[in-house]
Chain A
Amino acid sequence: MRTIHYKDIVDKVAVICQEANYDLGEDVVNAFKTAMKNEASEIGKDVLGQLIENANIATTERVPMCQDTGVSVFIVELGQECHIDGGNLYEAINEGVKKGYEEGYLRHSIVDHPITRKKSLGYNTPSVIHVEIARGDQLTIHMSAKGGGSENMSTLKMLKPSDGLQGIKNFILETVRTAGPNACPPLVVGVGIGGNFEKCAYLAKKSLFRPIGERSHLEEIAVLEAELMEDINKLGIGPQGMGGSTTALDVKIEIAPCHIAALPVAINLNCHASRHKEITL
């Protein structure tokens, strides 16, 4: 059994919360640069250029690239031979978020009650935390600062098995078309297929943690990701919905076995500020 200290988790989470908001990943910046070369519309190119400049300012001045510093979403791989000393893992992560957001001048975007909209000073907590138990004695924390605009345009549908591949494609294209400028394109489109109602939503979210440019390790899924990417970019929505040939920076698909009667599909859209960082303790 390996011991990991509560305070170490707090401090490391605080750091990755700030880095995620200040430093756009190289995968995204490179995708912007490639898109600029290929973008057909002049306004689209202009938008992409401003996004690159914005990312540079954020990194240099240590300020958030976007005012929506998101809901802090975590996928934690907890080795079953880890012992957390000094407190609870969920509390440690939330304390780290509070510290990171408060000290990093990041926006507090959480209301305590979804109906009354009551808000306290929780500094962007509670976070959404998913824990997966892994082998070994390491603790890996993946963090994403997930924006509200793209989350609002995400969808889930229980398709019929007879809808098949074409039904899945149609649903994805329709989701991206309906989202248009609202989800802040160019998007990263995360798709979960199979599992059940909540599992497909989790898979869609999880897919967004994969770096841009990394295809599925399943050959037929990698082909589907590439086909969808091509089709989405033919929708014409373009950067910020101003018209153009870059509507998606990437498409990510995760699949899982499902019931004989079911074909659950969830689509989690991410804006171009695809902010994810990870740390291993």
Chain B
Amino acid sequence: MTVKRITVPFDTEIVQSLKAGDRVLISGKVYAARDAAHKRMAESLEKGEELPINIDGEVIYYVGPTPAKPGQIIGSAGPTTSGRMDKYTPELLELGLKGMIGKGYRSQDVIDSIRSNQAIYFGAIGGSGALIARTIKKVEVIAYEDLGTEAIRKMVIEDFPAIVINDSYGNDWYKQGSETYRSI
């Protein structure tokens, strides 16, 4: 099976070339944000305030890393369950968010919004935080520092392994993959 190398930011052509089930290695800049940061971003938008990051064209990685040991730039940093961010996601996709990396099911609302906004949801391997940390080359906390592990971080990643779960055509790899092997 081939592995596609892709670079962030994505243009529509790249988004449309990716299909559910494709294995990819992602390089470029992503923003790390999870529960508390999403809640705070949603509150800002509700108040009509600007977000601390311009997410148009960007990729968010759902992660809350462990503290870095001396000599490391980041501790273990695998994906967290994306479904907890579903409530906040369609609004961010409307603002131009192009990709998300996490693990686990998305809601139908999010899947529909991924399709209508021509975006992509990637699944990373949950529980492989030590391996994934090696693909993170730079890290900088850029907003909500008080949230600690849940602060928004800018990360530069190189050959980050993931699988396309929800593509821009409305496909869902979790569904397709499990149906292929289901015998009960």
Contact = CB atoms under 8 A, between A and B. Distances in A.
A237 B175 CA distance: 9
Given A43-B23, A67-B76, A182-B105, A238 B131 contact: no
Interface in A117-176: 117, 119, 147-149, 152, 173
A184 B127 contact: yes
Contacts of B182: 234-236
Contacts of A152: 81
Contact of B180 (A61, A184, A243): A243
Contacts, number: 167
A54 B130 contact: yes
B79 to A, nearest CB: 9
A212 B148 CA distance: 35
B15 interface: no
A7 interface: no
A236 B128 contact: no
Interface stretch (B49-57, B62-70, B107-115): B62-70
Interface string B94-106: 0000000001110
Interface residues of A toward B: which range? 35 or more
Nearest to A152: B81
A54 B178 contact: no
B12 interface: no
Contacts of A67: 63-66, 75-78, 80, 129
Contacts of A182: 81, 83, 103-105
B131 A273 contact: no
21 contacts: A50-B161, A51-B128, A54-B130, A54-B131, A63-B66, A65-B128, A66-B76, A66-B128, A68-B64, A68-B80, A106-B66, A106-B67, A108-B148, A180-B104, A181-B126, A182-B105, A234-B183, A236-B183, A237-B178, A242-B177, A272-B127
Nearest to B147: A119
A61 B70 CA distance: 12
